[in-house]
Structure formats: C-alpha cells, structure tokens
C-alpha cells in the first residue's frame, strides 16, 4: 500500500510539474509577444524598466509565500551579481532582436539554449559530453543556421543580437548550475528584478529624451508584460522543483507553437519553410539531449 501511495504521489508530482511548465511557457510566450508589440513604439530600456517594475508584484508574492524577506539571504553575492549581469545583457539583446525579425524566428533560435548550455557545461564546467551529445549539439546549431537562412531575410544585426542573447542566457544558466542549491530561487529572481530595473533606469537617465509617456492602454500592456514574466518565473521554478527535468523540460518547446500562432494572428507573419525545418531540427536535438540525460541518470 505504501509503495502504491509513493507511485501515486510521484505521478501527481509529474502531472503538476507539466501543468506548471505549460502555464509558464504560455505566459512567457505572451510576454514575448507583448514586448515585440511595445518595442515598436518605445525605447527598449523604457520597456525593460517598466516591465521589471511590474515584475516585482508576483516576485513579492513569491517571497511572501516562501516565508518573507528572510529567504533573501545571499551566500555568494559576487556569483549572483555576475548572473544578473549576464541575464541583463541577454534580455537587452533579445529586445533588440525582437524589433527586427518575426517572433517565430527569434523564439526558434532561443530553443537552442539547452543545446548551447550543454556545450558550455562541457567547456566551462568540465561536464562529460560524449560523442552522441556533441552530434546533437552540432545538429542543433545546424538548425539555427537554417532558421537564420539568407542574410536578406534575417539581417546581420538581428543575427548578432539573437546569437548574443542565447549565449548570455546559456552562460547565466551555467552560473546558476554552478550555484547549485546554495541560493534560494526567490533570492535569484528578486535580485534580478532589482538589477534589471536599476540598470535600465540608469540608462534612461543617461539618455535624456528617450522616455515617452505611455498611453493609458500601453500602461496596461507594460503591466501585463511584467506580470506575465513574474508569474512565468514562479511557475517554471515550481515545475523544476516538483518534477524531474526530463519530464518538464520538453514542454518548453511549446514556446515555438505560441510564437507561430501569435506571429500569424497579430502580425500576419507566417513562418517560412526554413524556419519550420530549422525549428524542428533544434527541437529534436534538444529532446534527444534531455532524453539521453534522463536515461543516463536512471542508469
């Protein structure tokens, strides 16, 4: 009876993790769509600043749920600061790329993040990556090249920004992996929101004239963007806490489906054939890496 109860609890945890991940990816996809809409009318760092301010609302709820401000103790402040810088640079590149090319293309490239993270884990942390994994990594990069395609369809500035964004994000994940469980998730997301708001606010002060007073309905969009990002972080963090990585990670690839749908409905930009083929190669490569890790961990 006890064994059966453990099995049911594990199954419930997996289903809960999948539900959290699906909801988190959905909110992040809406967040990306809102940012692409707003960055056409507002300076990128004004968008970043307001989004970060509104993100503070769900993060405050997360901290309260975890027990209050006492959970925000930093054990490795220097490493956390380095992580914050990397994520700030990543999002800066991301916003710039969103203004230049269709949403589906950018999100397809972002799907290569687990692949880049695996490569950096081998190169920077000395993690063992066998030949099969390296083949999957190379296949994923080939998928990115298929998405980028000819330079006239995906201009060089967008390529550089998207590639830099993925690189910075992957490095931030490597730093997070290095931290392990020594820092609370609430500490990391709260500190990131503060750094994002402060850094983008300073940039706005150093570049006078770039602030545009938002229209009343755009205030709602800024608020929605921040709330989506904050709650998405909470949901995805919860997913990885209650269920194994191999169970929930594949559902991150739902983001490309949302990006395609939003691109068609909002911007009338259906993805090209190379985007679809490249995205498929990236997703298959990423799923292979997740599956192989799960099998080796089980063994």
Which among 278, 256, 79, 61 has a CA at the least distance from the CA of 183? 79
Q: Give the count of domains, the chain.
A: 1
Q: How many whole angstroms separate alpha carbon 149 and alpha carbon 158?
A: 12
Render the burial of 215-233: b for 16+ CB within 10 Å, e for the rest. Answer: eeebeebbbbbbbbbbbbb
Predicted confidence (pLDDT) per residue in 128-148, tens digit: 777 887 888 888 888 887 887
Residue pair 22/194 in contact (Cβ under 8 Å)? The answer is no
Q: State the DSSP code for 213.
A: P
Higher pLDDT, 139 or 291: 139
pLDDT at 8: 42
Question: What is the mean predicted confidence (pLDDT) over 201-228?
Answer: 92
Predicted confidence (pLDDT) per residue in 49-108, tens digit: 999 999 988 888 878 877 777 777 777 888 888 989 998 999 899 888 888 888 888 888
pTM: 0.81
Q: How many whole angstroms separate alpha carbon 225 and alpha carbon 29?
A: 10
Task: Tell me: pLDDT of 297 over 70.
Answer: no
Domain that holds residue 190: 2-298
């Amino acid at each position: 009876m006890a064994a059966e109860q453990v099995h049911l609890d594990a199954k419930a945890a997996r289903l809960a993790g999948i539900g959290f991940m699906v909801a988190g990816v959905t909110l992040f996809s809406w967040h990306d769509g809102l940012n692409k809409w707003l960055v056409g009318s507002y300076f990128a760092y004004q968008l970043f600043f307001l989004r970060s301010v509104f993100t503070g609302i769900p993060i405050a709820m997360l901290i309260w749920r975890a027990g209050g401000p006492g959970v925000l103790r930093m054990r490795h402040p220097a490493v956390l600061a380095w992580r914050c810088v990397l994520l700030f640079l990543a999002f800066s590149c991301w916003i710039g790329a969103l203004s230049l090319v269709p949403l589906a293309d950018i999100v397809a490239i972002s799907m290569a993040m687990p692949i880049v993270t695996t490569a950096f884990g081998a190169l920077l942390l000395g993690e063992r990556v066998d030949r099969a994994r390296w083949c999957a990594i190379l296949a994923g990069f080939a998928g990115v090249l298929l998405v980028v395609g000819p330079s006239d369809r995906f201009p060089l500035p967008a390529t550089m920004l998207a590639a830099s964004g993925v690189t910075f994000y992957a490095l931030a994940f490597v730093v997070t992996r290095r931290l392990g469980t020594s820092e609370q998730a609430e500490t990391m997301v709260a500190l990131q929101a503060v750094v994002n708001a402060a850094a983008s606010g300073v940039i706005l002060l150093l570049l006078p004239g770039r602030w545009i007073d938002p229209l009343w309905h755009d205030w709602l969009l800024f608020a929605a963007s921040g709330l989506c990002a904050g709650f998405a972080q909470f949901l995805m963090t919860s997913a990885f806490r209650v269920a194994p990585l191999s169970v929930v990670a594949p559902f991150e690839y739902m983001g490309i489906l949302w990006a395609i749908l939003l691109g068609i409905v909002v911007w009338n930009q259906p993805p090209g054939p190379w985007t679809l083929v490249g995205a498929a190669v990236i997703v298959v490569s990423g799923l292979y890496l997740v599956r192989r890790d799960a099998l080796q961990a089980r063994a």
